Structure 1
Amino acid sequence: MITWFDALLVTLWAVVTALGARRGLSGLVWGLGGVAACFLANLLGAGALVATGLALLLGVVLALATRRLLRGQLGRPWHLGAGALGGFALGAMLVATLTLGFPIGIHVGAEGRSRVYPSNNLSPVLYQAVQNSVLKASLMDAWQASPALQLLVMPDQAHQGR
């Protein structure tokens, strides 16, 4: 069942893809560079504040480099498709990060302790929306994905595993 949470995330994904397409070739660099900047910030950042500062710094450097290198490169039709591809990649990363970014809960039962996602300590409306989310169900395999993907979309969980 599609929830309001899914609708918001799909809308975000569509908006970021459209922004990439609108920027043309620089949208491709913007999208893929944004994913790379987030990965590097998560890899090198020792904490949330350091990673955020590093991501902002990398984003500014990327924006300035893109502006300088791709001046006047918006005229060709295939640039729109390339920009949409970059926006799609950045949007996918944002959607995965937002979907898997809620707290993890601990369930204690007859079998012992187990981790549950999302935590049932969330507000009931938010818990139901995330718990029944189609996107959440499709992204749950990320918990067993490669360490690089986990670092990109779930940096707090990837750092705990180190």
Structure 2
Amino acid sequence: MKVRLFNRAGQLVGPIEVAAVVKTDAEWQAQLTHEQYEIARGKGTEAPFCGTLLDNKRDGVYTCICCQLPLFTSSHKFNSQSGWPSFFDAVAPENVKTHVDRSHGMVRSEILCARCDAHLGHVFEDGPAPTGTRHCVNSESLAFVDATALASLADPAAD
């Protein structure tokens, strides 16, 4: 698969060919907290208005909690009043993928990390310009990296 990664200068580059991150359930459980595992690997949903990143206003990048792939940027975040962090676009279209989710008697578009298939949330067609989309994401599926520390996301494949 091809994704966009940060280089040592803190710049998003690519697309770059990378291998998928595949682990056993036991390995994911050892890496993640119970709640992170239930949401990111078990396709759960955190309670609305409870996520630690909902009210985060800092400048930076939101990465996958499982594999650290850059997924969203603070410049795309907006207050949707839905109770979950919301973004009008991904950091790069290659870094997320969607899947039809027919659970709970609904038909929705599930958002997944392109590199490890972590469940992120759902995307809806009721967001602001310029995309008109609302990526509604669980805080437990994300990690936040401050803009001053983007070089810490450097991937050797990006240099």
Fold in common (TM above 0.5): no
- Relative to the length of structure 2, the TM-score reads 0.28
Bigger CA radius of gyration? 1
Q: Which structure is higher in strand share?
A: 2
